[in-house]
Structure 1
Amino acid sequence: MLVWERPEPPDRPVPTPLSRERIVQAAINLADEDGLSAVSLRKVAAELNVGPMRLYGYIDTKEELLELMLDAVYAEIRPSGETWRETLRSLAEGIRQAAHQHEWFADLIGGRPQLGPNTLTSGEAVVAGLSGMSVDIIVPVMAAVNAYVIGAVRREITERRAERSTGTDMKQFQAAYGPYLRRMLATGRFPSLSTLIHDGPHLTPDETFHTGLDYLLDGIEARLSS
């Protein structure tokens, strides 16, 4: 029986009561603090001040725990909107905000479909918001938006982690590599890149995300109108 349908052990008088919700929240707290590498059944048990074996009445494996954590974060993502475009934008921004709040979330999304109750609720809201489209259109449209958001969010989180691990932010990175890049461009071997680097806009992460999302939604709209 999947963890979503498996009943929890009955309540009993113990010094430290447990529930799946408490276990998942403790795991999320650990992951928020130190990443997914900090999450193990032993560490979660220590966080709750219980023996590790007590957790097995609620979850069977670490993989189940990760699924529950992922689904718990999806409870924070509630897509809404009056139009399909507003709904998809709400979904994209909700996923991005969740990943900024819980960086480890970006490591777990993008694989096999997540089927927890909160994830299904989020998906239901998106499909309902696209009710004017045919099913043949909804499937690739949702896939395209999810692919864009997951890629964009992972890039942002990777940069955050790089800044922490190196102690160097993007401006410092650019300053360090600037002389080398200028020498390479001066060879004349990269004229297109040279034009892009010298004349292109320098967008903030927010501008980059929202501009790319606008291009994607514009493309969907053009396809729907064709």
Structure 2
Amino acid sequence: MESAADKANQPRRTSVWLEGKPAARGRKSERSDHPTGLDRDRIISVSVRLLDAEGPAKFSMRRLAAELGVTAMSLYWYVDTKDDLLELALDSVFSEIGTSDDKHEADYADGTVDPGSDWRDDLRALAGSYRALLVRHPWVSALVGKFLNIGPHSMEFSAAVLRVMRRTGLPPHGQTGALASVFQFVYGFGTIEGHFVQRCAEAGMTQDQYYRDAMGRMSEQQEYRGRFDQSEEMTEARGADTVEEMRERDFTFALELLVAGIEAMRTRG
């Protein structure tokens, strides 16, 4: 039996991608009684579907096995732990972000910047794709902070972001700050948006119905009346008809503020 001291002396697992076998499609074994028609890709795909539907709190190997029609032990032919599977699922959805930037490959290969390339459009596209990912898969927000995010798709996204930042013309010491300002903003915006969309779905209401219901209830409460009036004025100033339109305008304007800030800092030198 393994002692507590033996466990303490074992190296801590930091990432499935550092275990030396993340790309394998299953464990090698002389046994042949593992389920047919099952591979790691299918397991990851169903895991993503369950996480979308129920979130990480309800996710379990037993629940996943039932969905696949196999025993829970069968899954351990393909992954060592539940965390490994969550990390694989997290990286798999990052493949949904378009990161193609081949046309600028020469721009950053030698560290120079092509003055004719428009980094702004690429930054907007990456920010928008990341936001959409966070809304489409609300569980991603929590897992991004839990794992190292060094899988191939996550690293491809990170590399694409860094390439765009190098083309902004900011000095190296300013590029990391610009990256943080843009993508921490997108992370927060997309996380809140994703949770709101999920809450509306769970309530069986559209976003507009939920918003009107909440605002109506607040307006009836005296203690919220003053603040509600101010909020109502700002809502009217947005000039949008739906919650999604209001949110889209807010996101676009905020992102443009950040782009303008990068341009201003670049000019300042």
State the TM-score, normalized to the length of structure 2: 0.71
The structure having more radius of gyration, on CA atoms, is 2
Pair 1:130-2:160 in alignment: no
Matched with 2:134 is 99
CA contact (8 A) 1:70 1:108 kept: yes
Matched with 2:74 is 54
Compared with structure 1, are the counterparts of its residues 74 and 66 closer, same or farther at alpha carbon in structure 2 (3 Å cutoff)? Answer: same
Q: Output the aligned Cα RMSD.
A: 2.8
Gaps of 5+ in 2: 1-12, 102-116, 241-245
Pair 1:212-2:249 in alignment: no
SS at structure 1 position matched to 2:166: coil
* From 189, 198, 206, the counterpart of 1:161: 198
Deviation at 1:33, TM superposition (A): 2.0
Q: How does 1:1-226 map to 2 (within 5 A)?
A: 2-4=15-17, 5-6=20-21, 7=24, 8-10=26-28, 16-79=36-99, 82-110=117-145, 113-132=148-167, 133=169, 134-166=171-203, 169-180=210-221, 184-185=225-226, 197-198=232-233, 201-202=237-238, 204-226=246-268
SS at structure 1 position matched to 2:48: helix
CA contact (8 A) 1:110 1:150 kept: no
C-alpha distance in 1 between matches for 2:120 and 2:210: 34
CA contact (8 A) 2:35 2:70 kept: no
Compared with structure 1, are the counterparts of its residues 112 and 55 closer, same or farther at alpha carbon in structure 2 (3 Å cutoff)? Answer: closer
Gaps of 5+ in 1: none
SS at structure 1 position matched to 2:89: helix
Q: Which amino acid aligns with 2:16?
A: V
C-alpha distance in 2 between matches for 1:99 and 1:222: 29
C-alpha distance in 2 between matches for 1:38 and 1:61: 16
State the TM-score, normalized to the length of structure 1: 0.83
Deviation at 1:160, TM superposition (A): 2.0
C-alpha distance in 2 between matches for 1:107 and 1:71: 13
Q: Which amino acid aligns with 2:118?
A: T
Q: Which amino acid aligns with 2:43?
A: I
State the percentage of identical aligned residues: 28
Aligned length: 220
